[in-house]
A and B are shown apart, each in its own frame.
Chain A
Amino acid sequence: GEDVEQSLFLSVREGDSSVINCTYTDSSSTYLYWYKQEPGAGLQLLTYIFSNMDMKQDQRLTVLLNKKDKHLSLRIADTQTGDSAIYFCADSFSGNTGKLIFGQGTTLQVKP
């Protein structure tokens, strides 16, 4: 079945770039999403990329998509302590629907 995998933990220094990686198995993905979850909160939509794109930039965020390898990454430039959170990659199941398949989440720790 459809699956999304992420590494579980990433630690960086404030001011460095962070790169969070994700792989997925669904070959019919239409959109791929990145969400952020802070303690005790719901999920915040950060950005998304359409499956026919290679890259999308949104201020400090850069999303890279390698469709051949089914690999997605989120780069956060100039990482701040406020970026400390859990980041989830999500795949839209079988096209453009309200069903998302989420990865396990990557905990980003930013050290001052």
Chain B
Amino acid sequence: KAGVTQTPRYLIKTRGQQVTLSCSPISGHRSVSWYQQTPGQGLQFLFEYFSETQRNKGNFPGRFSGRQFSNSRSEMNVSTLELGDSALYLCASSSTGEIYEQYFGPGTRLTVT
């Protein structure tokens, strides 16, 4: 089975721009979660989508948004980029059986200049 894929792997943007990151979950997985990883704040939960609906949300400003499509692929969008948005953005997919095993993709490294 193919793992979680994320595109692009690396991205450089300018402050004030917006960016869209994509995540394709493991086949059959319907839940997709997004995390931001920075040296200062560590791993922080952004949001979770299940069956095209946002099910959980972390403490991030409204500039961070996401969506999920009918094929479970997910995108996250960050508008009006700030320097502090530079981070590794990780996507995780999971089946929703009894055990919630989250499998992570390799991440998208976003640099805001």
Contacts and interface: CB of A to CB of B under 8 A. Distances in A.
B42 A98 contact: no
B48 A98 contact: yes
Interface of B: 4, 31-33, 35, 42-45, 48, 50, 55-56, 58, 90, 92, 94, 98-107
Contact of B42 (A30, A45, A92, A102): A102
Interface residues of A, number: 24
Nearest to A44: B104
Given A43-B90, A88-B43, A99 B48 contact: yes
Contacts of A50: 99
5 contacts: A43-B92, A97-B48, A97-B100, A98-B100, A101-B45
Contacts of A12: none
Contacts of A103: 42
Contacts of A88: 43
Given A42-B90, A88-B43, A98 B103 contact: no
Contacts of A85: none
Contact of B102 (A41, A45, A105): A45
Contact of A31 (B44, B99, B104, B105): B99
Contact of A97 (B55, B92, B107): B55
